[in-house]
Amino acid sequence: MLQVRNLNAYYGKSHVIDGIDLDVEDGQIVSLMGRNGVGRSTTIKAIMGLVRANGSIRFGDRELLGLEPHQIAHCGIGYVPENRDIFPSLSVRNNLLLGVKSGSGKGRWSPEDAYELFPVLRERADTAAGFLSGGEQQMLAICRTLMGDPDLVMVDEPTEGLAPLMVTKVKELLLEIARRGASILLVEQKLTIAPEISERLYVMGHGRIVFAGTPAELEADHALRKEWMEV
């Protein structure tokens, strides 16, 4: 589905991502891990066309590099940024409706699905989204992205700052997304939910991939975890 080859990305003159390769297959949950500042968020921003990059990013049979973010979204990629980017003055309902692609027909997700998964969103459907808790805003941000019926969802640090109960709800939602046939590229720093739900893990360090393998292989590699992940 997603094939990244020799990806380099830049902020101004700073070379942030240095020739990484990465794959996400149909229906997979893949996690990109590592400490803060190693380039994880920049990687998915590059895939989404939000930073200057070169190399190759293929999604299905289409090359994404050179496309605008809205064109990449219409190729079937959804993106949930770390800061969530909800519209705080709009109601929960209108935030969800803004995620629906015009002319896309009936997809795998509807606002009713979001309400059934998270009844609090139904209860607060007419409430301005800015009044939701952090965890509720995270649920809204992910569900809004799902309204566009993406084939691949990229989610940046969805559990950051959340209480354990909300972390569990994020985990359940990601598993449900995969059950409905979409792939997920998850950016996580901590060894919380990523090893539990991912089929494959990548670890980044200094803008490069320093590990690619299964959760069991990462668990067994104590030296790598100590060097590249533990604080």
What pTM, to 2 d.p., does this model score? Answer: 0.93
Residue 13 pLDDT greater than 90, yes or no: no
- Tell me the pLDDT tens digit for each residue of 98-127: 988 765 556 788 899 999 988 999 999 999
Pairing of strands 152-156, 77-80: parallel
**Mean pLDDT rounded to a whole number for the chain:** 93
- Give alpha helix (H) positions in the chain: 40-47, 69-74, 92-98, 111-117, 119-123, 134-146, 164-179, 194-197, 215-220, 222-228
Task: List the chain domain ranges.
Answer: 1-76+189-231
CATH number of this structure's domain 1-76+189-231, picked from the four choices 3.40.50.720, 3.40.50.460, 3.90.1150.10, 3.40.50.300: 3.40.50.300
